[in-house]
Each structure stands twice: as C-alpha cells, then as structure tokens.
Amino acid sequence: MKVYIRSAACISPQKTFNNPSFLDEAVERVGNRLNCIEPDYNEIIDPKLTRRMSRVIKMSVASAFACLKNAGIDKPEAIVTGTAYGCLEDTGTFLTNMVEQDEEPLSPVAFVQSTHNTIGAQIALLLKCNSYNNTFVNGSISFENALLDAMMLLAENTDHILVGGMDEITDMSHAILSRTGLYKRTPISNFDLFKSGTKGTVGGEGAAFFLLSNTANENNLACIDDVSTFHKPADITETARQIEAFFEAQSIDSGDIDLLIWGNNGDTKNDEIYSQLKQSVFSGIASINYKNLCGEYPVSTAFASWLGANIIKSNHIPDSLNPEGSINDKIRRVLIYNHYQNIHHSLILLSSC
Amino acid sequence: MSAAVFVAGAGVISGIGNNVPECLSALENSTTGIDRISYLRTNHQGLLPASEVKLGNAELALLSGFQPSTSRNVMLSMIAAKEAWDNSGINSMPGLRTGFVSATTIGGMDKTENFFVDFVADHNKGRLRDLAYHECGNVSQAVAEKLGIKHHVSTISTACSSSANAIMYGARLIKHNILDAVIAGGTDALTRFTLNGFNTLLILDEQYCQPFDENRRGLNLGEGAGYIVLVSERVASVLKKDPGCSLSGYCNFNDAYHQTASSPEGDGPYGAMIGALKMSGLQPEDIDYINLHGTGTSNNDSSEGAAIKRLFEPHYPKMSSTKTFTGHTLGASAGIEAVFSTLAIKAGIVYPNLRLQTPMAELPFVPEINFSRNQNIKNVLSNSFGFGGNCSSLIFSKN
C-alpha cells in the first residue's frame, strides 16, 4: 500500500511552520513543557473565526491549510485526523463551567467545540469540502490509525487525502499529567533531555498535516511504505519479534534502513526499551531522537513523520538532531519506531520516491 | 479487494433492553425506554427525560465482568460487544485475524466529570484513577483485551455518526484483507457533560420526543451500545449458520454547512444516502425500510426529510426513527440502529415511529406507526448524521 507524501506542514515547539530552513537552529526551553511556536493566525484564517477557536483548532487548521497550499490542492478527496485527547481546552472549559455553575444554563460554544471531530469538521467547513471525513481517537496510535485509513482510501480509487495528527497541552492537562508522574519533577533543558538519567519526560504538543497521493510527482517528499502497530507486548522478546515480523512483511532487514527515528523521551524506564532494541533488532542502524524537539505527546509520530519526510527529500540531517552512528550518503529508507508507555508501539516506514 | 462483507452477529444494550431479545420484545410491544432520569446524578432529573439503561453500575459490573468502579461506558460496550461476539460463533474459529473497531464520543467522561468536581476546587485534588478511561481509546482497549482481540483495535469519534464510521472502517479492513472478522459499532453512556451540552444548545425535549412530527420539540438523549460482527466471504462460508445479511453499501459525506446544524436542503444526508446506494448497486426503489436518523429536532428532521424527498420521490420506502424508543445514544446510535436494521432484514420487521401525531406538513410521506413482522425486507438504509457535518449512511441487504 505504498503512497506518496506530496506535502507536509507542521506547527511544533520548533520553528517548523512556513520556515524554508529545515531545523537549522533548534529552540531551547527549560522546564517540563514544550509549547508550540505559533504563527500569526490572522494571516491564515479569517480573524472572525479564529476568535472562537481553541489553540489546537487554530494550529491544526493553519497546518492543514499550509499543507494543501504546498501541494497546490484546493480540496482534498478525504480529510482524516487522529488525536488522543481531542479538544482539551474546550472540554476543560465546559467541565469547569458545569461544576462552578452547578449545571445551570451554560454557553454552548465550548461544548460544541469539544467534540473530537471538531478539527476535521472545521477544515471541511472552511474548504466547503463534502468528501469523506473521519476522526480517530485511539490514544498514542490515533495518527497511525488515520494513516492506515488514508492508505486504504488511496487504494480505493481516491487521490489527494489530507491526514493529520494533533494534540495540545493545556494548563489542566499539564497539571493532571504531572500528577501521574509523566513529567520530570525538576526543570530541564530540552537539549539535555537524554542526559538526565531520571524519571519523567517533558510534555509536548503539535499539529502536523500531510497530503498523501497515489500520483508520482517530482515535488513528492517521500513515500510511506507501510504503517504497523502492536499493543502491550509481553516482554522485550515479543517487541523484537513484532519488529522483525514488520521487516519480513516489507522484505527488508535492518541493514536496509538508513536512519531510525525513535521515540526516546528521557524517562529512564521508558528509554530502556529502546536501548535493549539497539542491542538486537536495531543494531548498527544510525539513529536520531526527536522528542527533545517536540516533547512527549500521544501523536508525536506525526511530528516524526514530518521530520522523516523532510530528511529524505533534502537528504540531509540537521546538526541539531545529533545523529548517532555513521550516516549513508543517500538516505533512502527511514524507519520511525515509537512506543508510548510500553502500551502502544508503532512502526512507520518511509522511503525515497 | 474482496467485495462482500457479511453480518455474522449482533449485540445491543439500550434503554429498552439489555440484549437483542429484550430490545426486540420492547420494539414489538411499543415500549419506550424514555423515562425520568434515575441513574445519572444530575440536577436535571425530573426535568429532562432520557432513555437510560435500566441497570446501576453494580449490576452492569456483574454482567460485564468489570469492577463496579469502571466507567459505565466500558461496561456498556463490553456487554453489547460480547453478545455480538458470542452470537457470531467466531470465537470458536481459531487462526482468524480479528479486530475491534469501536466508536464513542465521550470515553470515560462519566468518571472525568466526577473527578472535576474536586479538581476545579483544587488542582491537587480528584482521584486520578477516575481518569483511567478519559481517553476514548482506553474504553475500546479495555473491552478488546477482555474479549481477547489483539490484531487490531481502533476508536472513532465523529459525533452522532461515529459508529456508522466504525462499521464502515471495520468493513474496509476486511475488504483490504487486513482482518477476517471485526466487531464494529459504538458505545456512549449518559453523562452530565452531554446532557448539559445538548441542553445549552436548546435542542432537548422536556417531553418525550416526537421525531418527524409537525410539532416536534427536540430530542431525548439515551445511552447504550450496539455492535455487529462483520466477516469476510471466506469466513461467512464456513460459519455454522448462514449470516443471512450483508453490508452492501456505505458512504461518509460531509455537509460542510455549519458546525452543529444541517443544511436546509439536506445536502449532507442526500450525499451520504446516494453514495451508499451507488456502492450497493441499488436504486432508491430497492430500499424497503429506512431506519431514520430522526432525532426529533426541528433542524434534523427537516433536513433529513428534504433529502429523502429529493432522493426517493415518488416511491417512499417504509421508515421510522427507533430513537423514539432508545433516545439519541450519540456515538452508539448507528451501532444500535445497525443491530435493529439487520434484525429487520432477518425477520422482515418494520419498527414503529412512536408518538407520531401530526405528520410534517412539508413532507409527502409519513413514517410507520405500527410494528409489523414477516414483511418482504431485502434492503435497509440506516442514517446517522452528526455535528461537524459528519453524515454517514449504511445499507444492509438480504443475501
């Protein structure tokens, strides 16, 4: 089910949006929360509309529009989104109002915009796009579900599918996830994320959109060869076996992969899985981390896919990514491997067109 | 890509019964599930009727095998999904690639909204375990694990059309030879979040709803879960019992008109219905029964009615809204109505549209008001339309 990535656009904690330079300088933050660097939305979306939109809606609509513009497509033939949390800010607002006002009549705006399909729906509404529109809300593989849907659609006689992954941090979600122990207790520079040797990661967020197509085009960034997920492996042996099965299904072995983009997040326990795999299935593959740039969040693989596609197109790994291992002259195949709290694991294989 | 996807099993829990036979019996006896709210703790008890599942969380725990402290939504999902799975007989067939595609609009919101009572006062308060199912995906994952389904789990949320899209996605996973059998549908428990949300939109009926009535006032919410088991042609051919019914067409079409309202001409509903017909290779006159979206709001029924008029004039099939029984179960509605639609095909049933007094003046057709059996029902169209313009239609056909 190989498909082409015609264009990609991403709003992230780095200068990734509408920026001709590809991560030449990385942005450093100290703390345990990496918020997105957001553009002036009034230049992208009608200011009358942005007033009511929450951050995640604005980030998503802006990156979807930029993605379509880069591809030269006015209306996609389908819009598919993936988000673990959906519109958290509006959900939190409505819940808070409901509690504080003891179920007295409330404003409907936050409720209406709290539904998980708001983003896909807003994009359709603004584009007047009647085509297939779907939203996956499946935790940290929501983006992978959306990719699979898009790839199936492309095999069903459609072309030009807009697919995106997005999640936001809000003050409430950050407070809650801090209490669960997800984040580091003491402030840290994201540049030092993998040096701390402590528990916890830094929170992240972002919106990344891709225009996927069946059609060869000199502007295509890369191909997606396949996407695969697995859930709660019994142990590291099963994890390795699942990854090997993925290689077999693609008729490749680890030597065919020029670069591994993997999901280390700076939490010692979490990252142990990656270092064990480096001794086995991923042995000898050059690798880069990405969560020091975008933080940990459920659909972070959307950011990693943006990164991988641009690395393949430019055949260049920005210095800010500190690659480990020797890099081949031509980067033909990039594998993204991520796991979220050892619950969901995902593999996305990209290749040059 | 293989063409046919068959329906091998069905399971449902709703305000009118805890399984398929109980729901069918209530439908036959015109017994609505809409009543005074008595299980959900809300200030609107006694003011806004709803169709609740008539079991407390302790009873749902016994039926589902989950702890009573689990989200009500997980337990509803488990009960209906397990009934469907057992009913299909797939469980006894080894070596199949199986999946669970479930829809929900609220995940574990019933617990999250309790957490928020303490959390709003102090961000260090509130029991974190009440958030275990806040993410919609965790609801599906918990049920899939208990059912032993591992090859594929996914969760869809497109407001009131959610479970129609789950059924569509499940069917496509089979057609693309990714899976052999899929439990697909959806679940939503009644919560203060949704009750107050719809109340702020001023579309809840303080009386029992009257879909497709000239004097309709709005919708009643409901809760429940409904799933069908979809199987490939190869699996269907070796099943002990003939599935008797297939999913012959479906379409997801966006109205792109307004975040919460449907277009007056029903462009979204029309697009979804005609797209599903096109896929099934059927003509409008081949449809024998329409399970309407029929929420009872002024806007939905006008828009859906206009679209049906455009598409079916002058040959109108029998039609009714079973939301007059179950209330609007949101993310579960298309799953529950898919179960009712497949039962309609198997037993030639047409369901009544309860409480219809004055048919809508603008429409040249009138929904059915009586239950009937042994009709010649070969093709059923099931409609589901939601916020965000998400419109989806499914067509089930007799084999």
The tokens for B96 are 């199949």
- Which pTM does this prediction carry? 0.98
What was the pLDDT predicted at B81?
Answer: 98
Task: Indicate if B160 belongs to the active site.
Answer: yes
Distance between CA atoms of residues B202 and A37, nearest Å: 38
Please, what are the domains in chain B? Answer: 5-238 (3.40.47.10), 248-398 (3.40.47.10)
Determine whether the interchain pair B156/A136 forms a contact, defined as Cβ–Cβ distance below 8 Å: yes
Q: Which of A28-37, A165-174, B91-100, B320-329 has the lowest mean pLDDT?
A: B91-100
Cis ω for the linkage preceding B314 (within 30 of 0) = yes
Q: What is the pLDDT of residues B168-205, one digit of tens each?
A: 999 999 999 999 999 999 999 999 999 999 999 999 99
Q: Which amino acid is at B107?
A: G
Work out whether strand A222-231 and strand A3-11 pair parallel, antiparallel, or are unpaired.
Answer: antiparallel
Query: Best interface-test mutation with B: which of A3, A54, A116 has the largest number of B CBs within 10 A?
Result: A116
Q: What is the pLDDT of residues B121-158, one digit of tens each?
A: 999 999 999 999 999 999 999 999 999 998 999 999 99
Q: What is the pLDDT of residues A48-101, one digit of tens each?
A: 999 989 999 999 999 999 999 999 999 999 999 999 999 999 999 999 999 999
Determine whether the interchain pair B172/A118 forms a contact, defined as Cβ–Cβ distance below 8 Å: no
Q: Please give the average per-residue pLDDT across B312-341, as a whole number.
A: 98
pLDDT at A127 over 80: yes
Nearest Cα residue in chain A from B134: A85
What was the pLDDT predicted at B3?
Answer: 74
Please, what are the domains in chain A? Answer: 3-213 (3.40.47.10), 222-351 (3.40.47.10)
Distance between CA atoms of residues A311 and A5, nearest Å: 13
What was the pLDDT predicted at A107?
Answer: 85
The answer to whether B112 faces chain A, any CB pair under 8 Å, is yes
The answer to whether A145 faces chain B, any CB pair under 8 Å, is yes
Among the listed residues B160, B209, B251, B391, the single catalytic one is B160
Q: With cut-offs at 50, 70 and 90, classify the pLDDT of residue B92.
A: confident
The answer to whether A157 faces chain B, any CB pair under 8 Å, is no
pLDDT at A35 over 70: yes
The answer to whether B113 faces chain A, any CB pair under 8 Å, is yes
Nearest Cα residue in chain B from A343: B141
Average pLDDT across chain B, whole number: 97
Q: What is the pLDDT of residues B356-372, one digit of tens each?
A: 999 999 999 999 999 99
**Distance from the first to the final alpha carbon of chain B:** 20
Task: Indicate if B134 belongs to the active site.
Answer: no
pLDDT at B94 over 90: no
| Nearest neighbour of B157 by CB, restricted to A137, A141, A172 | A137
Q: Please give the average per-residue pLDDT across B305-332, as a whole number.
A: 98
Q: Where are the alpha helices (DSSP H) in chain B?
A: 20-28, 57-64, 72-88, 109-121, 136-147, 162-175, 192-200, 233-238, 267-280, 298-312, 323-326, 333-347
The answer to whether B244 faces chain A, any CB pair under 8 Å, is no
What was the pLDDT predicted at B150?
Answer: 84
What was the pLDDT predicted at B2?
Answer: 56
Q: What is the pLDDT of residues A179-233, one digit of tens each?
A: 999 999 999 999 999 999 999 999 999 999 999 999 999 999 999 999 999 999 9
Q: What is the pLDDT of residues B243-274, one digit of tens each?
A: 989 999 999 999 999 988 899 999 999 999 99
The complex scores an ipTM of 0.97
**How far does the CA of residue B213 sit from the closest CA of chain A (Å)?**
26
- Compute φ and ψ for B374, nearest 5 degrees: 55, 30
Q: With cut-offs at 50, 70 and 90, classify the pLDDT of residue A14.
A: very high
> Residue B22 half-sphere exposure, CB side, CA atoms within 13 Å?
15
pLDDT at A147 over 70: yes
Strand partners, B204: B219
Average pLDDT across chain A, whole number: 96
**Residues from chain B contacting residue A176 (CB–CB below 8 Å):** 119, 128, 131
pLDDT at A320 over 80: yes
pLDDT at B52 over 60: yes
The answer to whether B315 faces chain A, any CB pair under 8 Å, is no
Q: With cut-offs at 50, 70 and 90, classify the pLDDT of residue A47.
A: very high
Distance between CA atoms of residues B156 and A134, nearest Å: 8
Query: Best interface-test mutation with B: which of A2, A111, A115 has the largest number of B CBs within 10 A?
Result: A115
> Which residue in this structure is represented by tokens 């006015």?
A74
The answer to whether A139 faces chain B, any CB pair under 8 Å, is yes
Task: Indicate if B293 belongs to the active site.
Answer: yes
Q: What is the pLDDT of residues B206-225, one digit of tens each?
A: 999 999 999 999 999 999 99
**Residues from chain B contacting residue A122 (CB–CB below 8 Å):** 259, 388
Q: Please give the average per-residue pLDDT across B377-399, as a whole number.
A: 96
